[in-house]
Amino acid sequence: MIHLGSGEPACLIPEAAVQAAQEMLAGGQVRYTAASGTPEMKQAVIQYTKEQYGVSPEANQVVISSGAKQALANALYALSLPGEEILFLAPYWVSYPDMVRLAGGIPRVLVPEDNSFTPPARVVVDAIDQRTKAIILNSPNNPSGAVYSREFICEIAQACAERGVWLIMDDIYHRLVFEDNVWTSIYDCLPGGIEESRVVVINGVSKLYGMTGFRIGWAVGPSELIGAMGRMQAQITSCPSALSQTAAVAALQGDQSCIEQLRNDLRSNANILLECLKDLPGVKVQAPRGTFYCFADFRAYCDSSSKLAEMLLNRALVITVPGDAFGMEGHLRLSTCGSAEQIREGVARIRWALDSHAPKTIKIGDQEVTRDW
């Protein structure tokens, strides 16, 4: 089986995190922490936000959660959505629609006309109306790997500020951008500080340090909303894992060279994947600029991406993730988390499966082409 579906880096977790967790376990004291996170973990997030975003939150503007996922869910619950709409662009991270529904809100998916992964800001701004409670932006994006421009983010931030709409920035991949200086900190777009904003920034250690199983994420935002998120969490999970918070502090404060290593590996794997995909005639690709995904357009070969993914699984033993889960049919999300060999072998098998099992007549643009491969 070749796994091109993975959503977590293959790297080992930082040594500092292992040691800190081992020491805590050896001490035999792993207790409840403050509901919104330990002072040490909040301090580590304050430092992180200062370094990465150029702003310095107060402790009451930070809440630590069981993964970025819980931080996002908490934000949606705390915003109290019943009957209100949350806007986000397709392709989107699979969990957004259900999270919004669970919080009582209505997901409103914005599908750019040309399926562009970087549409103009007006696609989002023009969709804001009196029902809009919040917008979620995810840059770099899962599944497309697209990174939104400063103009795009600032235009949306300005519209949100003017219309009293919340902006949730899901920045979980923000340090996994292949080029320097292309990612924008939302605070560069805001005239005031964190407290005056209606902005919540979500982050975590999962993707950065390969610490997905530790389940530590966080949110930074105005104290009233962050306080509500912490109080809700107090009733739902009591607190994030003490052991995991200790490990996360060590990862955030330890040697950061693993991030550069991961970024280099992902950039190199993305280039290999793009090169291999050139061997699949009719498959269209927009090069990812970050993350560990590439969202390739297989519409020439399928109407249903689920059926195509199933065929690839059964015939070629290759795992991919169908695009319908991300709100964009006809695409497959291919992951670059594995090795270069896995990527090469995976795409070679996809080609073989398409050669043998896909229809002989395929669509390339508006044209019907009979495949001679």
Residue with the CB atom nearest ligand PLP in the bound state:
67
Position 33 contacts ligand PLP (CB under 6 A): no
> Taking contact as CB under 6 A, which single stretch among the options 55-63, 67-75, 263-271, 338-346 is the one that binds ligand PLP?
67-75
The least CB distance from residue 35 to ligand PLP, in Å, is 18
Q: Please list, in sequence order, all residues whose beta carbon lies within 8 angstroms of the beta carbon of residue 371, skipping any fewer than 6 positions away.
A: 281, 355, 358, 360, 361, 362
Scan residues 321-360 and list those touching ligand PLP (CB under 6 A): none
Integer Cα distance of 110 and 121 in angstroms: 11
Structural tokens at position 365: 């643009």
Applying CB under 6 A, what is the total number of residues that bind ligand PLP? 13
172 forms part of the interface with ligand PLP (CB under 6 A): yes
Does the footprint of ligand PLP cover residue 132 (CB under 6 A)? no
CA 244, 250, 252, 255 dihedral sign is negative
DSSP alpha helix (H) spans, the chain: 15-27, 39-53, 67-78, 95-102, 122-125, 150-163, 206-209, 223-236, 242-253, 257-277, 305-316, 340-357
- Binding window for ligand PLP (CB under 6 A); candidates: 62-70, 156-164, 272-280, 352-360: 62-70
CB of 304 to ligand PLP, least distance (A): 23
Q: Can you say how many angstroms the Cα of residue 282 is from the centroid of all Cα atoms in its chain?
A: 27
Determine the interface stretch with ligand PLP among 19-27, 61-69, 111-119, 327-335 (rule: CB under 6 A): 61-69
Q: Which stretch binds ligand PLP (CB under 6 A): 22-30, 64-72, 155-163, 353-361?
A: 64-72
In angstroms, the Cα distances linking 103 to 135, 171, 370 are 15, 21, 48
- Identify which of residues 20 and 172 has a Cβ nearer to ligand PLP in the complex: 172
Query: Tokens for 250?
Result: 């060590």
CB contact at 8 A, 190 and 156: no
User: Token pair for residue 286?
Assistant: 């927009």
Q: Does 241 bind ligand PLP (CB under 6 A)?
A: no
266: Cα separation from own chain's centroid: 15
Query: Contacting ligand PLP (CB under 6 A), which of 142, 184, 335, 342?
Result: 142
Of residues 194 through 233, those in contact with ligand PLP by CB under 6 A are: 204, 206, 212, 217
8 A C-beta contact, residue 105 and residue 86: yes
Over the window 68 to 97, marking each residue x when it contacts ligand PLP by CB under 6 A and - when it does not, the resulting string is xx-----------------------x----
Query: Using CB under 6 A as the criterion, which residues of the chain lie in contact with ligand PLP when the complex forms?
Result: 7, 67-69, 93, 138, 142, 170, 172, 204, 206, 212, 217
